[in-house]
Amino acid sequence: MPIIEELTAAVSLFHSLADPSRLLILRRLSQSEARVRDLTDELGLAQSTVSEHVACLRDCGLVTARAEGRQNFYSVATPEVLDVLESAEQLLASTGHKVDLCTTYGRQTR
């Protein structure tokens, strides 16, 4: 198998994390489980936005749902997700957030 194909799942993982709303949702869910309504109220995002991003995170296996009556309570699926986010924050701190100056992916390209 060519090396590029071996990295496909990692690329998909980083794409799934490459949205500010999804990162906000994961950060919030790291504290405790929540319903879409809770996330909408707490994060100030539209319900459709939260639903779309929660569905994406769930499809990627990063978030899980627990049904209670007609409600779903979402939580982080595995602690490794939080480890990745923590490692990313440490990497950003150690590089002085230089990636934000990147001419391809940095702040100025958004």
Q: What is the pTM of this model?
A: 0.87
Structure confidence by residue, pLDDT tens digits, 73-108: 999 999 999 999 999 999 989 988 888 888 887 877
| Residue 19 located in a structural domain | yes
The answer to whether the beta carbons of residues 66 and 73 sit under 8 Å apart is: yes
- The one-character DSSP state at 45 is -
Structure confidence by residue, pLDDT tens digits, 21-59: 999 999 999 999 999 999 999 999 999 999 999 999 999
Non-local CB neighbours of 101 within 8 Å, separated by 6+ positions: 107, 108
Task: Quote the CA–CA distance of 31 and 8 in Å, as a whole number.
Answer: 30
| Residue 108 located in a structural domain | no
CATH number, domain containing residue 40: 1.10.10.10
Structure tokens at 21: 């709303």
Count of domains observed in the chain: 1
Phi, psi dihedrals of residue 34, rounded to the nearest 5° = -155, 155
| Residue 100 located in a structural domain | no
Domain that holds residue 55: 3-77
| Residue 85 located in a structural domain | no
| Residue 16 located in a structural domain | yes
